[in-house]
Amino acid sequence: MDWLRDATFGWAYLFLFAIAMARANTTYWIGRGVAAGVRHSRFEHFLEGPIYRRAQRFMARWGVLAVPLSFLTVGIQTAVNGSAGVSKMPLARYLPAVTAGCLLWALVYSTVGMAVIYAWIALGWQWILVAAILVAAGTLLWIRHRRRAD
């Protein structure tokens, strides 16, 4: 990771954009595969889970804008891209949307996001562990609250 920290903004941005595009498009095509008949597999549990249902509601509310907006959220990017594949969103709509989302994601991570990560690393592993535990506990409490509300 040292090369990424020492890279110019342009190279870091392009690298992070390429990573995001590869991940998002792979997820989309896995979703297309699931839609093509892989339903009775290990993916079926994922399709019926709370994260996928949340992604479906998000996509129903925002339509094609859900794809780029998901890159500004935490926790549903993969589910939204998979949902786009499962719902067979046309590539003419998906590719511009995912490109915009990946451009946004790369901008966030090549500026503020990586600065936060490097600051945590500089503080030492124990603070990363504390932050991860706090985030996990907060997420579990939030999920529990949402399930009670449903």
Residue 10 lies in a domain: yes
Residue 140 lies in a domain: no
Question: 3-12 b/e with 16+ CB inside 10 Å = b?
Answer: eeeeeeeeeb
Higher-confidence residue of 136 and 150: namely 136
Residue 134 lies in a domain: no
Residue 127 lies in a domain: no
Residue 60 lies in a domain: yes
**pLDDT tens-digit profile of 65-106?**
888 888 888 778 888 898 888 888 888 889 999 999 999 999
Instruction: Give me the domain span that covers residue 75.
Output: 2-111
**pLDDT tens-digit profile of 15-74?**
999 999 999 999 999 888 877 775 566 666 666 678 777 777 777 777 788 888 888 887
Residue 96 lies in a domain: yes
Q: Where residue 143 falls among pLDDT bands split at 50, 70, 90?
A: confident
Q: What is the pLDDT of residue 44?
A: 66
State the total domains in the chain. 1
Q: What is the pLDDT of residue 35?
A: 72
Distance, CA of 77 to chain centre = 3
Q: What is the pLDDT of residue 42?
A: 63
Residue 126 lies in a domain: no
> How many C-beta neighbours within 10 Å does residue 77 have?
21
> Which tokens in the block code for residue 57?
């509601």
**pLDDT tens-digit profile of 102-141?**
999 999 888 887 677 667 677 776 777 788 888 888 888 8
For residue 119, CA distances in Å to 28, 113, 122, 131 come to: 33, 10, 5, 12
Residue 26 lies in a domain: yes
